[in-house]
Amino acid sequence: MSDVPPLRPFVIEALTDLGARVSDGDSLVWVQAPESVQRDLEVPARFALSFDPERSGEFEAEMVAPGSYFLERLVSVVTRRGQWDVSRCAVTATDWISDTLHESGLDPETAVSSRVDGIEDELLLLFAFRVTLVSDEKRESFHLVAVSLVDGSTWPEDPDRAGRGLVPHPAPAIRPDLEAAYRLATESLRTTTGVEVERFRTRSLGLLEEEVRRIFGYFDRTIDGLRESDPGGSQDLLRAVMAERDRRLTEAVERFDPKASASLCSIRAILVPTARLHLEFPDGTRTESR
């Protein structure tokens, strides 16, 4: 699936959080695992991971893909352990405000003037979810959803960029309302994955319809043939054939019935420097923004 967020950033971050030393190469990811990781993931002290099926045979690398044994074990360990940490977004450039305004099209080049009224830390919560779609096949993807505790806004975050510029931060003073933020994050996740889930559901139900039609066609022909060849034949045989038909139908429903689920893998609190701005637009309109 080309639209599925990559597994690589999630796996690397999860292993690092578990205490492993990870070296990200071009084709393989090398891992040095402490005893706890070796025990929980059933891996040796040093091993390689491959995210490309064509490279999985190199150095006996563990294949990481939706439904793979290693990924199932890793997600199980991370979910059972739980992950909560606090980070700060370290801003080193002094002109980060003007750079951000420029990227947003709100700078002197567009005749928008701005005045900084103050800078303060804003607390964001970053929720990591594992989304699983199951039917005749299994699909998995990992999604990051950011939630602002200031205004309740939410947005999807790119896994490849989520950890950039973050440094650990002491956590004792951080006591956010996780329950309310979690509800916002799950609603955002439901919205962002809605199209993908509906597409998967439509495909699965279409395959189910085809399979049911095939089963009915086959057994209807079989029953008609039995009745034609032996009109006074055994009813027990007909009942056995119909029972087999019903069993096949039940199996088809179980196989193609689409199911979607999402599980929370981790939560990260991030302190982000936020500027309070006074903006004036070319038409004289003024507004305050963050």
pLDDT digits (tens, 9 = 90+) for 103-117: 666 666 666 666 677
Lowest mean pLDDT among 34-38, 49-53, 96-100, 267-271: 96-100
Nearest to 184 by CA among 145, 157, 150, 129: 145
Q: Is residue 1 scored above 60 in pLDDT?
A: no
Q: Is residue 5 scored above 50 in pLDDT?
A: no
- Residue 287 makes CB contacts below 8 A (sequence gap 6+) with 278, 279, 281
pLDDT at 138: 86
- Residue 232 makes CB contacts below 8 A (sequence gap 6+) with none
Average pLDDT over residues 250-264: 90
